[in-house]
Amino acid sequence: AIVVLGSTNMDLVAYVVRAPLRGETVTGREFRTVPGGKGANQAVAAARAGGNVAMIGAVGSDAFGRHLRHTLEASGVDTDLLHTADGPSGTAHIVVDDEGGNAIVVVPGANGTVTALGPGDETLIATADTLLLQLELPLSVVVEGAAAARRHGVRTVLTPAPARALPPELLAATDLLVPNEHEATLLTGLTDPEAAAGALLAQVPEVVVTLGARGTLYANRDGARIHVPAPRVTAVDTTAAGDTFTGALAVALGEGRPVEQALRWASCAAALGVRREGASTSMPYRPEIDAEYAR
Ligand code: ADP
């Protein structure tokens, strides 16, 4: 089973010709609410890919919280240990202009209340084969969750996003680090993905650097280097591509599939997702991933 310790957010997206200046009001063209948060996105991706998935975290006591919980459950994610915290859900306030540029305010809301593991959390983690972690919850709980997984021999997969310096105790409890190119550079100061992956192996045993339309690069301490190109698709919406990839990768690795096969299968899942509008809402289900993989 897969446990996700992570964030839930409602993305509130306004589409405008041009973003307002301070003190100014502009009229938008369109508004959308999109369930997200890296934790929830990875949970939905893994569940749709066929994983047995449970989510630890919190939603708020508002309507967004009910909607976020429902979105997870509708994809088959177990939310028994997803708390409802008094107060607002996590929200991302996004303004997208006609040139595709954006400005974003993230308010952690309920996510910010998840500072430590709660009763039952460690027991649940101990039943998993994989724990998925990102950096949208308070660092204290991410570190605690990784350490708990490590104690129980559970594989830990960390998406180091939003990018920030990582405490040594977190790296020490991470089995597989999955940065995108930008995060890999930020963590190492190296712009070449292969060099960055190599440098990260000093801190964790396995690394996958995601390279957008150029695919993924895997490296481990035994000297293996695997580059898997991304399937060629017309990208419509690349939001959460990395989360789709990571969720599917966890499922494939948890089933004991060889790394290269798992990378290819997860790349198919991510490619299917970017072909459609919507982030978590456009994530593919297992039969579609299998069909794409067989092509
Ligand atoms: P993030 O979404 O975290 O920034 P990336 O942009 O690297 O991460 O995308 C993650 C993965 O999603 C890539 O490694 C690739 O497999 C897939 N992907 C992303 N963009 C595309 C694309 N335009 N075409 C095909 N696959 C894509």
The predicted-structure confidence for 40-53, as pLDDT tens digits, reads as follows 999 999 999 999 99
Question: Is the CB of 216 inside a 6 Å radius of any atom of ligand 1?
Answer: yes
Q: What's the sign of the alpha-carbon dihedral 184, 189, 191, 192?
A: negative
Give, in order, the Cα–Cα distances in Å from 162 to each of 18, 37, 158, 173. 26, 11, 11, 19
Euclidean distance between CA atoms 166 and 134, whole angstroms:
11
Predicted pLDDT of residue 280: 86
- What number of other Cβ atoms are within 10 A of residue 280's Cβ? 27
Flag whether pLDDT at 167 surpasses 90. yes
Provide the pLDDT for residue 169.
97
Q: Range with the lowest mean pLDDT among 108-122, 126-140, 239-253, 271-285?
A: 271-285
Task: Using most ligand atoms within 8 A of CB, pick from 180, 226, 233, 249 the residue to mutate for ligand 1.
Answer: 180
Distance (Å, rounded) from C-alpha 98 to C-alpha 84?
Answer: 36
The amino acid sitting at 207 is V
| Residue 146: band (very low, low, confident or very high) from pLDDT cuts 50, 70, 90 | very high
Quote the CATH superfamily of domain 2-19+26-294. Answer: Ribokinase (3.40.1190.20)
Question: Is the model's pLDDT at 78 over the cut of 90?
Answer: yes
Q: Exposed, middle or buried: residue 237 (CB in 10 Å: 0-12, 13-18, 19+)?
A: middle
Which secondary structure element, helix H or strand E, spans residue 19, and what is its range? Answer: none
Our answer on whether the CB atom of 210 is closer than 6 Å to any ligand 1 atom is yes
* In contact, 216 and 227? CB cutoff 8 Å: yes
126 Cα to the center of ligand 1, angstroms: 31
DSSP helix/strand/coil, 184: helix
Q: What pLDDT does 214 receive?
A: 97
Whether 238 is in the pocket of ligand 1, judged by its Cβ within 6 Å, is yes
Is 243 one of the catalytic residues?
Answer: yes
Give pTM, 2 decimals.
Answer: 0.96
